[in-house]
Copies of this chain bind each other. A is one copy, B any other.
Amino acid sequence: MGSVPSVVNLVKGEMMKDDDNDLYFVEGIAVPETPLPGEALPAWRKTAVIGGREPRVDAYERVSGTAVYPSDIVLPNMLYGALLRCPHAHARVKKVDVSAAEKMDGVHAVLTGASLGRQVQWPYTETVVTDLFDAHCRFEGEAVAAVAAATPYAVRDALRAIKVEYEVLPFVADERRALEAGAVRIQAEGNRLKGETYERGDVGKGFAEADVVLEQEYRTACEIHAPMELHGCVANWEGDSLTIWESTQGVYSVQAKAAEILGLPLSRVRVIGHYVGGGFGSKLQPGKYTICAALLARRTGRPVKLFLSREETMLAAGNRPPATMTIKAGVKKDGVLTALQFSGLGSGGAYPAGGTSLLDWLVRDLYTCANVKSELTDVAINAGPARPFRAPGHPQCALALEQMMDSLAEAVGLDPVDIRLKNVPLVSQAREGAPPYTTTGLAECIRRGAEAFGWGEARRRTAAARKDKGHLKRGVGMGSCLWVAGGGRPPATVIVKLFADGSVNLNMGASDIGTGTKTVMSMVLSEELGVRPETIQIEHADTGSTQYATPSGGSKTVPTESPAVRAAAVAVKQQLLKMAAEELGRPQEDLRYTGEYIEVAGNGKKVKITAIAALKRQGVVVGIGYRGPNPEGKAVNPFAAQFCEVEVNIRTGEVRILRFLGAHESGRVMDRLTFDNQVFGGITMGIGLGMTETRILDGNRTGKMVNRNLHDYKLPTALDVPVDMVSLPVDMPDAEANNTGAKGLGEPVTIPTAAAIANAIYDATGVRVQESPADPLTMNRLLAAQGREGRS
């Protein structure tokens, strides 16, 4: 029995509400004025809760381990599923013999291409569609068979007992070789999957007008998402209805694709994803694992849990494509850009999977430039398909563009800060009609970031130290960015219920992918309704019981959902005001909602919300809120500038980040704590791209990935991240964007990080980081090629 405290004390001590319900009303909150029905919902001018530091509403569950992630789900009679994967980079399945596996103890079902035939298909695009288990295995890790068995051990044993005869084929593992004559053809129509060009103005003219023209080449390595929680799901049928608990960023997108592939009405597919241990873009869609779990569960009549191993996720659950980039830029002596030309070659693996998605967006849109031309080529290689990865294309492009900006600055004798400020855009040039930005905090981010970082002083210090002969070189660098999206958009529907005791329930379909969505939405409700954020009951991320939301990705969750949450809260208030108006016998215009009470303006008369007879009678008040349209003719984007200081050991090639500062303008700062979390997390991920992460394919002998585990694939650890990290919010409530004034933050935080590090390395050593990651191997190579002693 031990020393567990009295139940009553536990219950009473922590939870008992007093007679006045004060425990869950915010004391003295200045609840915003409520528009009358029909009036537009104005943006907040002042806030009481929003912008403060609110801890996660689910912190206890996450930290204590009581939060049930999809990978924690255990159902009665549940079987375990697993996929047999092709061990070759490129091969053709000749024969699959499952007879031994089927006879094994505990094995309940085996699915193969032969048993499924052509009937279950996997659509990569509208035109590229393969069998679920395609005989042509185009990458190492391609699914060949699926098994359900009684235990996680039995299912792995069964996989080993399946005998597959492969015809091993030649492979191509590098995007730069995919178009060479003699390269093996991966897709029927050849290895060139997609080409895209963009042009505005006349770059020839632009280069001619330039005082300086530079051209540089870059390559970024392929990066793996590697979220803490592996990819997978639990599938269960009740009659003809399928329920999927999936580790996902978007339950509705999993529902849509699973229903499409299985040929089910959407109403027969319920997807639940209450927690998700990271996704970073790799969990916006279901995987073949989802479909296999559903098919195995259907076949066996039992729930099936199918989660990938870490190794499988490395091979087959997505990546940030490698990119080879050439950038040419022209600039006037005063720092004004005259032309930008960019070509990018990328590969999303063996299938069309966005190998060059948004790879040139920053070239097109980050800086004011009249003459821009770019060309993207997306090719197939024998590797696992890409999935969107936090700010697709942007960090890769930033590495090229932002180093080029520094090079241009150096060539015309300007400070990196100044050349960027010269070219800050006020309109989105790459969009039709060049619409103005609602707010653009880019200049503010650069200026305030530089000031807070002590940029000028640091630049002088590193310049002065250049003559030092020591092997430890210090440098400072910066990078700036915007993110192509981040304004959010409709649709989003949210329902808020206020119970008879004044406590509140929030129902929304959006996933909280670890970014604090639930916390921010609770703060929005708190701001409007005056209830304490942590007492709000939240149901979310369930296609069956919660409202429609698009996946949590693209830095759009807060700007998409928060206006709908606010609108729903206001709808609740309006109903309460109407009830109170009847009860008090006063017109609604005379009343003020103060959280716990509704007051008659001026005369001090008031009614406690929980005492409103109509509320008691009705049990709850339900408010529905929709995300309104975006402003017409405007672009809504977040901006950022990041600054860092590094120390490079030119003997060993080791780079140590000494300090890092992220200045971010994402509209209104909603929760300062989650804001900082995003900034720190995004920078950390950017450090991974810039300094540690690379998928290594054995390009010579096998084409196989050689670092398919978390020992050999180097995620940044606590030792790679500086203690001195500063988040500097540039708080600019964007009243034009939406009614909460928020823009997205999840992606910009990781875009300029690797570029800022690279620029700092250049400042320290005079070496341009032409390849990522800047790990000791790469650095040694670059130092050797460009001059180990650094610049003088």
- Residues A7 and B266 in contact in the complex (CB < 8 Å), given A544-B539, A619-B252: no
Stretch at the interface among A164-172, A197-205, A207-215, A256-264: A256-264
Whether a CB of chain B sits under 8 angstroms from the CB of A151 is: no
Nearest B residue (CB) for A540: B545
Whether a CB of chain B sits under 8 angstroms from the CB of A241 is: yes
Whether a CB of chain B sits under 8 angstroms from the CB of A54 is: no
Q: Using a CB–CB distance below 8 Å, which chain A residues touch chain B?
A: 1, 4, 6-8, 10-12, 14-17, 21, 23-24, 58, 60-61, 64, 66-67, 74, 76, 102, 107-111, 115-117, 119-120, 237-241, 252, 256, 259, 262-268, 270, 295-296, 298-301, 490-491, 493, 495, 497, 499-505, 507, 535-537, 539, 542-548, 550, 617-620, 622, 624
Asked if B267 and A15 sit within 8 Å, CB to CB, the answer is no
**Complex Cα–Cα for A480 and B741 (A):** 65
Q: How far is the CB of A112 from chain B (nearest CB, A)?
A: 11
**Complex Cα–Cα for A239 and B535 (A):** 11
Asked if A239 and B116 sit within 8 Å, CB to CB, the answer is no
The listed residue with most B CB atoms (<10 A of its CB), out of A102, A109, A240, is A240
Say which residue of B505, B542, B619 sits within 8 Å of A491 (CB atoms).
B619
Asked if B619 and A622 sit within 8 Å, CB to CB, the answer is no
Say which residue of B7, B237, B256, B539 sits within 8 Å of A298 (CB atoms).
B7
**Complex Cα–Cα for A7 and B102 (A):** 15
- Residues A262 and B537 in contact in the complex (CB < 8 Å), given A491-B617, A491-B619: no
Nearest B residue (CB) for A539: B545
By a CB distance below 8 angstroms, the chain B residues around A239 are 58, 60-61, 64, 66
Say which residue of B17, B252, B263, B503 sits within 8 Å of A12 (CB atoms).
B263
- Residues A1 and B499 in contact in the complex (CB < 8 Å), given A8-B119, A493-B620, A545-B539: no
Say which residue of B10, B111, B301, B624 sits within 8 Å of A622 (CB atoms).
B624
Say which residue of B74, B259, B301, B620 sits within 8 Å of A501 (CB atoms).
B259
By a CB distance below 8 angstroms, the chain B residues around A262 are 11, 15
Asked if A491 and B548 sit within 8 Å, CB to CB, the answer is no
**Complex Cα–Cα for A120 and B12 (A):** 9
**Complex Cα–Cα for A17 and B269 (A):** 13
Q: Taking the full assembly, how many copies of this chain does it contain?
A: 2
- Residues A264 and B624 in contact in the complex (CB < 8 Å), given A548-B497, A619-B548: no
By a CB distance below 8 angstroms, the chain B residues around A493 are 620, 622
**A–B Cβ pairs within 8 angstroms, 20 of them:** A7-B111, A7-B116, A7-B296, A8-B116, A8-B120, A11-B262, A12-B119, A12-B263, A14-B240, A17-B263, A17-B264, A61-B238, A74-B76, A265-B501, A265-B502, A268-B503, A268-B537, A491-B620, A497-B548, A539-B544
Asked if B267 and A503 sit within 8 Å, CB to CB, the answer is yes
Say which residue of B7, B507, B536 sits within 8 Å of A545 (CB atoms).
B507
Asked if B119 and A268 sit within 8 Å, CB to CB, the answer is no
- Residues A504 and B267 in contact in the complex (CB < 8 Å), given A7-B111, A61-B238, A116-B8: yes
By a CB distance below 8 angstroms, the chain B residues around A252 are 619-620
**Complex Cα–Cα for A12 and B119 (A):** 9
By a CB distance below 8 angstroms, the chain B residues around A299 are 4, 7, 10
Nearest B residue (CB) for A507: B545
Nearest B residue (CB) for A107: B1
By a CB distance below 8 angstroms, the chain B residues around A298 are 7, 10-11
- Residues A544 and B537 in contact in the complex (CB < 8 Å), given A108-B1, A491-B618, A503-B266: yes
- Residues A15 and B240 in contact in the complex (CB < 8 Å), given A8-B117, A267-B504, A491-B619: yes
Q: How far is the CB of A778 from chain B (nearest CB, A)?
A: 44
**Complex Cα–Cα for A617 and B545 (A):** 21
Asked if B548 and A546 sit within 8 Å, CB to CB, the answer is no
7 closest Cβ pairs, A-B complex: A267-B503, A545-B545, A265-B503, A266-B499, A16-B263, A60-B239, A267-B537
**Complex Cα–Cα for A608 and B67 (A):** 43
By a CB distance below 8 angstroms, the chain B residues around A301 are 4
Nearest B residue (CB) for A10: B298
By a CB distance below 8 angstroms, the chain B residues around A507 are 545
Nearest B residue (CB) for A547: B622
Q: How far is the CB of A329 from chain B (nearest CB, A)?
A: 38
**Complex Cα–Cα for A241 and B262 (A):** 37
Nearest B residue (CB) for A262: B11
By a CB distance below 8 angstroms, the chain B residues around A296 are 7
By a CB distance below 8 angstroms, the chain B residues around A15 are 240, 262-264, 268
By a CB distance below 8 angstroms, the chain B residues around A108 are 1
- Residues A267 and B491 in contact in the complex (CB < 8 Å), given A500-B256, A545-B542, A622-B547: no
**Complex Cα–Cα for A265 and B535 (A):** 8
**Complex Cα–Cα for A599 and B326 (A):** 55
Beyond the given pairs A267-B505, A268-B537, 17 more chain A to chain B contacts, judged by CB atoms under 8 angstroms and listed by A's residue number, are A1-B107, A4-B300, A10-B298, A11-B295, A12-B119, A15-B268, A17-B264, A24-B265, A61-B238, A67-B238, A267-B503, A267-B504, A490-B618, A495-B495, A547-B622, A548-B618, A624-B624
Nearest B residue (CB) for A23: B265
By a CB distance below 8 angstroms, the chain B residues around A66 are 237-239
By a CB distance below 8 angstroms, the chain B residues around A266 are 499-501, 503
**Complex Cα–Cα for A7 and B242 (A):** 14
By a CB distance below 8 angstroms, the chain B residues around A256 are 500
- Residues A535 and B263 in contact in the complex (CB < 8 Å), given A15-B240, A116-B7, A240-B15: no
Nearest B residue (CB) for A501: B266
**Complex Cα–Cα for A8 and B121 (A):** 11
Q: How far is the CB of A509 from chain B (nearest CB, A)?
A: 9
By a CB distance below 8 angstroms, the chain B residues around A264 are 11, 15, 17
Q: How far is the CB of A78 from chain B (nearest CB, A)?
A: 11
Say which residue of B6, B11, B536, B617 sits within 8 Å of A263 (CB atoms).
B11
